[in-house]
Amino acid sequence: MIDILMKNLPIIVVLCPLMMSLLVVLIPNIFFSWALTTLSTFLTFLFSILLYQEIQIHSHISYALGKWMPPIGIEYIIDKVAIIPIIIISGISFLATIFAYKIMPEEIEKKSISKVYSLWLLAIAGLLGLVTTGDAFNLFVFLEISSLASVALVAMGAHKDKQALVAAYNYLIIGAVGATLYVIGVGLLYGVTGTLNMEDLTNRITDLKSNRALIAGFGFMIVGIMVKAAVFPLHIWLPRAYAYAPSAVSVLLAATATKASLYILARILFSIFENSENLINNTLLFVILPLSLLAMFAGTIMAIYEKDIKRLLAHSSVAQIGYITLAFAIGTKASIAAGFIHMFNHAIIKGGLFIAITTISFYIKRRVTINNLSGLGREMPITFFCFVLCSLSLAGLPLTAGFISKLYLIKASISSDGIWLAILILISSALSVVYLWKIIEVMWMREGKKIVKKENPTIYISLIIITFLNIYFGLDASLVVNGSFEAADKLIGDL
Amino acid sequence: MITIENFILITILSPLIVCVLTPFTSKNTILRDFLGPIGGIISCWGALNIMSSVLNNQNTTLEIVKIAEGISIGFEITPLGAIFGLVASFLWIFAAIYSIGYMRGNKEKNQTRFYAFYAMAVHAALCIAYASDLLTLFIFYEVLTFSTYPLVTHNQNEMAQKAGRLYMSILVGSSVILLLPAIIWVWVATGSLEMSQNGVLDGKLDVAYAPLLLAMFVFGIGKAALMPIHKWLPAAMVAPTPVSALLHAVAVVKAGVFTMLIVLTNVFGIDFLAKTGASEWLIWLASFTLLATSIIAIYKDDLKARLAYSTISQLSYITLGGALATSMATQGAALHIITHAAGKITLFFVAGALYVGAKITKISDLNGHGISAPLIFLAFFVGSLSIIGVPPMVGSWSKFFLMLGAADSGYVVVMGVFCISTILNAFYLMEIPARAFFFKKEREINIKIPKLILIPTLITSFLTILLFFFIEPFQNLTSIIVSRI
DSSP string, B306-318: HHHHHHHHHHHHH
b vs e for A126-161, b when ≥16 Cβ sit within 10 Å of the residue's Cβ? bbbbbbbbbbbbbbbbbbbbbbbbbbbbbbbbbebb
Backbone dihedral angles phi then psi of residue B268, each to the nearest 5 degrees? -75, -50
Say if residue B132's pLDDT is above 50: yes
Name the E strands within B211-317. none
pLDDT of B178 higher than 60: yes
Q: Does the structure show a pLDDT above 60 at A77? A: yes
B169 vs A contacts (CB less than 8 Å): 433-434
Q: Which residues of B93-105 are buried (b: 16+ CB within 10 A; e: fewer)?
A: bbbbbbbbbbbbb
Between positions 383 and 412 of A, the ones with CB within 8 A of B are 392, 395-399, 404, 406-407, 410-411
Give B127's contacts (C-beta < 8 A, 6+ positions apart).
B12, B75, B136, B140, B143
The predicted model scores a pTM of 0.87
- ipTM > 0.95 for the complex: no
Q: pLDDT digit string (tens) for B324-362?
A: 888 888 889 999 998 998 889 999 988 888 888 888 888
- Whether B176 sits inside 8 A of A477 (CB atoms) is no
- Label residue A185 by pLDDT band (50, 70, 90): very high
Task: Tell me if B181 and A404 make a contact (CB, 8 A cut-off).
Answer: no
Greatest Cα pair distance, chain A, in angstroms, is 70
Nearest to A430 among B165, B177, B188 (CB): B177
Q: How far apart are CA B18 and CA A394, in angstroms?
A: 29
The pLDDT > 90 percentage for chain B reads: 9
Over residues B235-239, mean pLDDT = 86
Q: What is the distance in angstroms between the Cα of A378 and the nearest Cα belonging to chain B?
A: 12
Mean pLDDT score of chain B: 86
Decide: B30 and B112 in contact? Cβ < 8 Å: no
Distance of CA A428 to the CA centre of its chain: 21
* Dmax (CA) of chain B: 68
Question: Which residues have a Cβ under 8 Å from the Cβ of B228 and sit 6 or more positions away?
Answer: none
Q: What's B362's DSSP letter?
A: B
- Name the residue among B143, B164, B180 with its Cβ closest to that of A426: B180
User: What mean pLDDT comes out for the span A186-207?
Assistant: 84
Q: How far apart are CA B404 and CA B390, in angstroms?
A: 16
CB pairs under 8 A between A and B: 80
Interstrand relation of B61-68 and A75-79 (parallel, antiparallel or unpaired): unpaired
Calpha distance B461→B471 (Å, rounded):
16
| Residue A339 pLDDT grade (very low, low, confident, very high; cuts 50, 70, 90) | very high
Does residue A461 sit at the B interface (CB-CB below 8 Å)? no
**A477 inside 8 A of chain B by CB:** yes
**Looking at the complex, does the CB of residue B280 fall below 8 Å from at least one CB of chain A?**
no
pLDDT digits (tens, 9 = 90+) for A467-485: 999 889 888 888 888 888 8
Q: How far is it, in rounded angstroms, from Cα A375 to Cα A364?
A: 12
Tens of pLDDT along B308-327? 999 999 999 999 888 888 88
Taking contacts as CB-CB distances below 8 angstroms, the residues of chain B near A474 are 67
Q: Give the per-residue pLDDT at B435.
A: 86
Contact between chains at A430 and B173 (C-beta distance less than 8 A): yes
Minimal-distance CA residue of chain A relative to B69: A478
Looking at beta carbons, which residues of chain A come within 8 Å of B219?
A: none
Per-position b or e across B263-275, b if 16+ CB within 10 A of its CB: bbbbbbbbebbee
All residues of chain B having their beta carbon less than 8 Å from the beta carbon of residue A415 are 188
CB atoms under 10 Å from CB of A387, counted, come to: 27
Domain boundaries, chain A: 286-495
B22 touches chain A (CB under 8 A): no
A236-292 confidence digits (pLDDT tens): 888 888 888 888 888 888 888 888 889 999 888 888 887 777 888 888 888 888 999
Q: Within an 8 Å CB–CB cutoff, is residue B185 touching chain A?
A: yes
Provide the pLDDT for residue A208: 66
On whether any CB of chain B is under 8 Å from the CB of A482, the answer is yes
DSSP secondary structure of A237-297:
HHHHHHHHS-HHHHHHIIIIIHHHHHHHHHHIIIIITTT-HHHHHHHIIIIIHHHHHHHHH
A403, A425, A427, A472: which to substitute to probe chain B, counting the most B Cβ within 10 Å? Answer: A403
User: Which residues in chain A touch residue B184, judged by CB atoms under 8 angstroms apart?
Assistant: 407, 410-411, 414, 422
* Partners of B66 in the β-ladder: B72
Q: Check residue B79 and give its pLDDT.
A: 86
Q: How would you classify the pairing of strands B61-68 and A60-64?
A: unpaired
More confident residue, B208 or B261: B261
Question: For residue A75, what is the DSSP state?
Answer: E
Nearest CA among B316, B150, B177, B320 for reference residue B238 = B150
Q: Are A236 and A173 in contact (CB under 8 A)?
A: no
What's the pLDDT tens digit per position in A424-465?
A: 888 888 888 888 888 888 887 777 666 656 666 667 888 888
A419 CB neighbours in chain B (<8 A) are: 181, 185
Residue B310 near residue B351, CB atoms below 8 Å: no
Q: Domain-by-domain residue ranges, chain B?
A: 4-483
B121: closest CA among B304, B318, B254, B302? B254
pLDDT in tens, A398-421: 888 888 888 899 888 888 877 888
CA angle at residue B295 from B281 to B342, to 5 degrees?
A: 85
pLDDT tens per residue across span B437-455: 888 877 777 778 888 888 8
* B64/A contact by beta carbon, under 8 A: no
- Kindly determine whether residue A410 and residue B176, on different chains, have CB atoms separated by under 8 Å: no
pLDDT tens figures, B242-257: 888 888 788 888 899 8
What is the average per-residue pLDDT within B231-242?
86
Is the model more confident about A158 or about A45? A45
Could you please report the per-residue DSSP string of A340-369? HHHHHHHHHHHHHHHHHHHHHHHHH-S--B
Q: Is any Cβ of chain A less than 8 angstroms from the Cβ of B161?
A: yes
> Residue A184 pLDDT > 90, yes or no?
yes
CB B200 within 8 A of CB B189: no
User: Considering only CB atoms, which chain B residues are within 8 Å of A484?
Assistant: none
Per-residue exposure over A91-112, b if at least 16 CB sit within 10 Å of its own CB, e if not: bbbbbbbbbbbbbbeebbeeee
**Identity (one letter) of the amino acid at B11?**
T
